[in-house]
Structure 1
Amino acid sequence: MEDWRQSITDWVDRGELLQATFSQLKRKDEAAAPRTVVRPIKLKSGLHYQFEFHYANKVKHENVAPAEGAGRMIEELEKHYRQALLKTPEADVQLLFSKKGKPAMLRKPPTAADKPKAEAHDRQKKRVLAGGAPPFLVELGIMSPEGNVYAKKQDKYRQINRFLEMVSDVLPHLPDGRELTIVDFGCGKSYLTFALYHLLAVELDKPVRVIGLDLKEDVIAFCSALAQKLGFDGLRFQVGDIGRFGELESADMVVTLHACDTATDAALAKAVQWEASVILSVPCCQHEAFGQIKSETLSPLLQHGLLKERFAALATDAARASLLEIAGYKSQILEFIDPEHTPKNILIRAVKQPDSSAAASVQDKWRRYAAYRDSLALAPYLEGQLAAIGKLPEHRS
C-alpha cells in the first residue's frame, strides 16, 4: 500500500502539487472548516502554500512556508478529514479514509485543466487567476467550486484576468513597505474590485486597504456582505458620490471603471489631487464632447450622429490622456478587452512621474494640447477640475 504521507511530502518537495482539496469531516460537530483547499502561490518572499478554509459563512486564508507545507497538510488530514483530492501533473489522486482510519489511494489521469498544453496554444498560462477556484469567483457566480468557469461567464472571466494583468504591470510603481490605499470609484457589483483585493492581499500578501464607492445602496449592501463572508478585512464598500468623496487625503491607486460621462473626469481629478501613483480608468458613455465639438474641416464626419458619437468619445479620451501628461503622469491608451465583446474597450493607464519633469516640457505639452482642444472647440470638464487644484499651467493659450 502506497504511503500517502510520503507521497504528499514528495510532491511538495518536488514542487509537483498543483492543488489539494480536503472534505468530509470525520465528525459532524467539528469546528474545523468543512472544506479546505491548498494551492501553491508566489509571494514576494517566495513560494508558499495557501490554505483556504471554507466555513459556512466565511473563508479564511493562511500562507505556509514550503518547509512546513507537507506537514501541515498531513496534520489537517489526520485530524479532520475523510477524503482528499490531490492534483499533480501526472495524476489526480483521491485519498479516502474508512471509518476506522484505513487509507486508500485511487489514481486517474490528470484533468484537462491540469495537463500541460503546447506553448503556442496555451492562452491560459498568461492568466493571473489560472488554476484553482478563488472563493470570490465562486460567490460571484463566475466559477464552480471545482474550478470550472461557467460558459456564460467566460467573457467576464477574461475581463478579470486582463484587468489583473494590467494591475500586475504597474505594481513596481506602487509604494513598497507600507499599507497601500486603493479607491475604486463607481465599483458597481465589484467583480474587478474583489479580483484586485484577492491579487494584492491574498496572492501577493500585501498590506492593502481598498475602498469601493458607488451610488447604488443595494449593490453596496451586497458587496459589503460578500467581503465579510470572504474574510476580506481590508476591503470596504460605501455609498457615495465621486465628486463629494472627501474621506481621504491621499491614495496610492485609483480605479474608475465605466463611470458615466464626466464622473470619469471627477475621479481622474481626485486621483491627481491625491497624487496617486497609478490610475486605471475605463470610460463609459461620454456626452460632454458630443455637445461641444465643432470643426469645419471635419464636417463630413460630424454630420453623421453615429460617427460623431464615436469620434467624440475618442477625442475625449485623447484630451484626458494629454491632461494627465501635463499634470505629471505618463499615460497610455490600452485595449481593455476585445472590441467584439463591448465597444467600451479603452483603458487609460497613468503612472505618476518624478517631480523632476522640466517646466519647458510641461509648457510644450500644454501648447500642443491647447491647439488640439481649440481645433475642436472643446471645453473639457477635466481641464477645469485640474486647473482648480493647481495642476495645470495658469493660462489658456
Structure 2
Amino acid sequence: MKYNRENTEKLLQDIFQKKILVKGVVSNMKGNYPYSKVNIKPLLIKNNFFFQFEQFQNNKAYHSNLNMEESIEKLKELLDNFKQFMIFTTEGDYQILKGKNDFTVKETKKTREITTLNHNKTKNYILEEGTPIPFLIKLGVMGEKGEVFKDSYNKFRQINKYLEFIDDTIKELKNKNLIGDTIKVVDFGCGKSYLTFALHYYLKNVKNMKFTIIGLDLKKDVMDYCNKVARELNCENLEFLTGNIKDFDKMKDADIIFSLHACNNATDYALLKWLELNAKAILAVPCCQHEFNQKMSSNKNSEFFNIENVIGKHGILLEKFTSVATDAFRAQALELCGFKTQVMEFIDMEHTPKNILIRGIKDKVKPETLEKKYIEYETFKKFLGIEPILDELLKPYFLIK
C-alpha cells in the first residue's frame, strides 16, 4: 500500500503513542546522517516510559533514551534520512520502504511479543543508564541524557559491581552494629578515581549517609586532576592525597578500606595498613602475585613439588596455582586477625585479567576456631615451602600466637 509522508508519520506516531512497539530496525541510510543503522525498543526506567534509540557508527553503538514527544520528533528525522523501517508491534508487523515520492507499507501478522520493558542491561544496577549522573558525564562514561557510551560499558558495569559489594558490606556492618549512619572510607591506589567518585555519589544520593572519603595514589598529577573534578562537581567530604600506602596516617578507625589492582606485595602492605588503621571492613582486588611463584620455584624440595609436581613442572600452571595460593593465604591470615573473609569474583579489569576480590569484615571468632585456622595456616605454609612477606607483616595482629 502506498502512503504519503503525512500518513507514514501518523502510522508511526500511532504505534508509539499506543505503546505497542516491540522493536524497530531502521536501515539503508541516505545522505549525511552520522549513523548507519538505528534500533528502537521501549523500556521503563524508574517506572517512566521511554524509547531507546541505539544508533550505530563505525561498529560502535550510542544509546539515547527519549520520552514520547522526543521520540516522535526523532522519527521524523529518521524518515528524512533512511529508506527502510522494520517495525514490530503487538498488533502486527510493518515494512516501510521509502521511494522517490512516497512510501510503500507492507503489513503482516505479528511475530513478536513484548517480554519486558525493563532495561535489559541496567535493571539490576545501582546506577541506572538513562539517568544523567554528573560524575559519569564528567569522566566521559555517560552522555548528557544519561546514555552510556558503548566503549565505556565495561567501566559502567565495573562501577556498578563495585557498588554492589559496597552495598552488601555496609548492610553487614550495620547488622553487626559496627557503623551507624556515618561512615569513613579510604581508597588506596585510587588512580583516576572512577570508583571513588561512584562511592561519593552512592553514599550521598542513594544511601543518604554522612561520610568522609579519602583517595590515595602515588601520582600527583592524577590526584590534582581528581581534586579539580571534585571541586567542579561540588563533592563535599571527598579528598585526594598523593602518597604511599605505608606512610598514610590521616584517617584512624576507618570503616571501609578499598584497594584495587595493588601489584604483588603492595596488597600485603595495604592489608597491614588496614590493620594499623583499625578498619572494620577490607576489600582488596590483588594483582600480579609474583612472590609465591618466585619463592616456590627456588625450593624444589618442598612438599608441594613432592606431591604436586604434575602442576609444578609446568610454568604456566605453577603461575596460576601460586596466584590462587597467594589469595587463599591472605584470606586465611585476615581470619586470624579477627575478620570473616570471602573470596569472590569481581569483574575483569581493563588492564588485567585478575578478577578476585577478597572481602574481610570484623567478626567475633571463638578461640577453638582460631586454633584450627592457625593450624591450617601453618600447614599450608609448610606445604608450599616458603616464608611469605605477609606472614611477617600480619602475624603481630594474629589473635592467636
Residue 170 of structure 2 corresponds to which residue in structure 1?
171
Contact 1:251 1:276 in 2 (8 A): yes
Contact 2:256 2:282 in 1 (8 A): yes
- How many residues end up aligned between the 2 structures? 291
Question: Partners in 2 of 1:157 and 1:91 — Cα distance?
Answer: 21
Q: 2:326 aligns with which of 316, 341, 350?
A: 316
Q: Offset at 1:319?
A: 0.2
Contact 1:188 1:219 in 2 (8 A): yes
Contact 1:302 1:308 in 2 (8 A): yes
Question: Partners in 2 of 1:91 and 1:156 — Cα distance?
Answer: 24
Q: Offset at 1:253?
A: 0.4
Residue 260 of structure 1 corresponds to which residue in structure 2?
263
Q: Which runs of 4+ in 1 moved over 6 A?
A: none
Q: Offset at 1:345?
A: 0.7
Question: Partners in 2 of 1:158 and 1:107 — Cα distance?
Answer: 30
Matches within 5 A, 1:103-118: 107=69, 118=116
Residue 156 of structure 1 corresponds to which residue in structure 2?
155
**Matched AA of 1:205:** N
Matches within 5 A, 1:98-137: 107=69, 118=116, 122-131=120-129, 132-137=131-136
**Matched AA of 1:371:** T
SS, match of residue 317 in structure 1: helix
Question: Partners in 2 of 1:366 and 1:119 — Cα distance?
Answer: 52
Normalised to the residue count of structure 2, the TM-score between the two structures is 0.67
**Matched AA of 1:387:** K
Q: Structure 1 regions of 5+ residues with no counterpart?
A: 1-39, 42-86, 93-104
Q: Offset at 1:109?
A: 5.3
Q: Offset at 1:164?
A: 0.7
SS, match of residue 143 in structure 1: coil
Contact 1:386 1:392 in 2 (8 A): no
The percentage of aligned residue pairs carrying the same residue is: 38
Q: 1:385 aligns with which of 380, 383, 393?
A: 393
Aligned CA distance change for structure 1 residues 90 and 337 (closer, same or farther; 3 Å): closer
Q: Offset at 1:178?
A: 4.8
**Matched AA of 2:324:** L
Residue 351 of structure 1 corresponds to which residue in structure 2?
361
Aligned-residue RMSD, C-alpha = 2.7
Contact 1:319 1:380 in 2 (8 A): no
Contact 2:285 2:357 in 1 (8 A): yes
Residue 301 of structure 1 corresponds to which residue in structure 2?
311
Question: Partners in 1 of 2:394 and 2:117 — Cα distance?
Answer: 46
- Post-superposition Cα deviations, 1:174-214, rounded to whole Å, max 9, x if no partner, equal 34445311111111111111111111123222111011111
Q: Offset at 1:123?
A: 4.0
Aligned CA distance change for structure 1 residues 119 and 282 (closer, same or farther; 3 Å): farther
Normalised to the residue count of structure 1, the TM-score between the two structures is 0.68
**Matched AA of 2:49:** P
- Post-superposition Cα deviations, 1:80-117, rounded to whole Å, max 9, x if no partner, equal xxxxxxx932789xxxxxxxxxxxx9835599xxxx96
Q: Offset at 1:340?
A: 10
